[in-house]
Amino acid sequence: MPVPTASSSMSATRANIPAAHLGLLAAFMAALTWSAIAPLDSFIWLLEVFPALIGVALLIFTYRRFTFTTFAYSAILIHCIILMIGGHYTYAEMPLFDWLQQQFDLSRNYYDRVGHLAQGFFPAIVAREILLRLSPLKAHSSSNGWLFFIITCICLAISAMYELIEWWVAVGTGTAADAFLATQGDVWDTQWDMFLALIGAMLSQLMLGRMHNRMLGVSDV
């Protein structure tokens, strides 16, 4: 009887992981590598990309105990890429949105707004999947209202917590405050950030809820 070796065990482990998940991880690493090469400000890059690094580390650590759908992992990857682009250029100086600002005579670089819309849009899918799989809440009409409300509250809480973290980091670092906060002179920037996360969370559920149900194999009737 052949004795299992370390290499054969690792091969068996890799074989149990869907190719799509490995591909998403490879895409994350490629985007992270690009983002880390000559960013506009290395400290701001670390601050902006840190949530993505922590999030992916947690996903890898808990993969065997709780494997998300490929749909959810794809949403997480898109959100991470948005964070990494923001880290590379800073949210106030993203080139494409600089060009849009000049072309349409806009008051600011709006990539920051995209980032905060995404802060509600993509985490809503993650929160939705966790709740549908681990809580008594279901996608059918009798509890769908509560599901929608709780997911929206979770995303709004995440956004509010991130605003507090931005404040603490800005106070602690001083010189990095303007680039990290990316307020661009808007006194209502914090309120806009949370409002856009709120809108993103609601849009995500309205636009992607039924598709997500199909991926999870649950009924929404």
Distance CA(106)–CA(218), nearest Å, equals 44
Question: pLDDT digit string (tens) for 10-51?
Answer: 444 555 899 999 999 999 999 999 999 999 989 889 989 999
Q: Is there a domain that residue 9 lies in?
A: no
Is the pTM here over 0.85, yes or no?
Answer: yes
Task: Quick: pLDDT tens for 165-211.
Answer: 888 887 777 655 555 556 566 677 788 899 999 999 999 999 999 99
Asked, for residue 2, whether it belongs to a domain, the answer is no
SS (H, E, C) 168-185: HHHHHHCCCHHHHHCCCC
Q: Would residue 7 count as lying in a domain?
A: no
Answer whether residue 194 is part of any domain. yes
- Domains in the chain, number: 1
Give me the domain span that covers residue 152.
Answer: 21-216
Q: CA 48, CA 80: separation in Å to the nearest integer?
A: 10
